[in-house]
Structure 1
Amino acid sequence: MLRKFGVVLTLALLLSACSPKLDWRTVQSPQDRYSALFPGKPEKIQRKLPYQNQEIPQTLEAVKIEDDIYSVSTIHLSKIQATLAPKLLEQLQGNLLNRANVSLESALSVDALYQTANKQRIATKDYFLEFKSTGAVEQSMRVRWITRIAPDNGVWIYQISVLHKAPARVDAKQFFSEEAYANFFDEFRPE
């Protein structure tokens, strides 16, 4: 009887090990000109950002897995709006960096590379942010911004990020260097 229980327990543990919490899938977004490897099926939200008396289209694809939110935010600026890109990017970065009480220059960052759909490797930076505590929950984030010229001479601005919420503070750089997070960043492919 004890042997049968041990066999059943072993089988249950093996089956649970075969059911990972991360269900990696490549998500193609031709309208936003990228592909990404998400750890689950993301939801998509579209909205218009009011910016300098204009409506700027923004798309967000995100999935929540336990304490983490994996997301890709996309903004497309038309050819006539392209001159807005530097200031809009600065504002997007500033909003996050201010919440973490750092600047672009003082934030913990590492040099990184991303690969385009045509396999070109381009330098970028990843930022590791730790936000002020809002009670019992600590928040940290790894974020990357990529700007690309569109075929219509417009501009694409991508924000790739993972937000981690947990009761204890983590070392953001070490935590987000784990494979589950590195895959998400490494497999983002803009056109």
Structure 2
Amino acid sequence: MRSLVCAFTALVLLAACSPALNWRTVALADAPLTVMLPCKPDQAVRDVDWGAGRVPLSMVGCEAGGATWAVSHVLLGQPQDAPAVLERWQRALQKQLQLPATIPAGEPYLIKGGLELPQAMKVEWDGRNAKGDAVVADVRWFARLESSGVRVYQAMVLSPGQPVAAAARDTFVQGLQLR
């Protein structure tokens, strides 16, 4: 039995370190956050309006092991806007994943240095992508005060059909470090 447990543990660790997942530390240039990504990231910026006026949404992410690994963030000028923006961001993802209006709530998520808000949470939602294929979204939302306002974040792993291996997800989540 003991050798079976050791073998299983070794397989889980190898899955997190597989060639498909080439982990690297990425310090975001436009936000005080360091992330661990399993592939060379791409970056993009687009404007969004979630009720606090149009603001640039910065994204960094990549595809590896069949999943999309991404971190997005928005700087808000008014800290009091953070709860509403996080809520609207969550509803936007819910709509994008074609989920019903009422879904189970997430669990609280507090990153070291982050704000303790009811909207700072982690969820795992089973949904559908734009093509109608089954996907699983494992998401963390959090916020942090900055001298110029508050920055809100979304960190997500989007995988086809089933969640990514727990060891890989944990590497990604543990790599989220506010600076």
TM-score, reference length from structure 2: 0.75
Distance in 2 (CA, whole Å) between partners of 1:28 and 1:55 is 25
Distance in 2 (CA, whole Å) between partners of 1:57 and 1:163 is 22
2:90 matched residue in structure 1: 93
Distance in 1 (CA, whole Å) between partners of 2:73 and 2:129 is 28
Structure 1: segments with no counterpart, 5+ residues? 1-17
SS at match of 1:26: strand
Which one of 132, 137, 141 corresponds to residue 137 of structure 2?
Answer: 141
* 1:138-189 per-position Cα deviation (integer Å, ceiling 9, x unaligned): 111100100111123x011000000002xxx43xxxx346111111011101
> Bigger relative contact order, structure 1 or 2, given CA contacts below 8 A and separation 6+?
2
Structure 2: segments with no counterpart, 5+ residues? 1-16
Distance in 1 (CA, whole Å) between partners of 2:52 and 2:139 is 28
Corresponding position: 1:159 with 2:147: no
* 1:14-59 per-position Cα deviation (integer Å, ceiling 9, x unaligned): xxxx971111100011421100000011100012223548321210
Task: Describe the shift of the 1:112–1:48 C-alpha distance in structure 2 as closer, same or farther (beyond 3 A).
Answer: closer
Distance in 2 (CA, whole Å) between partners of 1:57 and 1:77 is 10
Give yes or no for contact 1:73–1:159 (8 Å, CA) kept in 2: yes
Give yes or no for contact 1:59–1:75 (8 Å, CA) kept in 2: yes
Count of residue pairs the alignment pairs up: 159
Query: If you compute each CA radius of gyration, which structure gives the higher value, 1 or 2?
Result: 1
Give yes or no for contact 1:94–1:103 (8 Å, CA) kept in 2: no
Distance in 1 (CA, whole Å) between partners of 2:53 and 2:108 is 34
SS at match of 1:114: coil
TM-score, reference length from structure 1: 0.70
What is the RMSD computed on CA atoms of the aligned residues? 2.9
| Identity across the alignment (%) | 23
Distance in 2 (CA, whole Å) between partners of 1:84 and 1:125 is 17
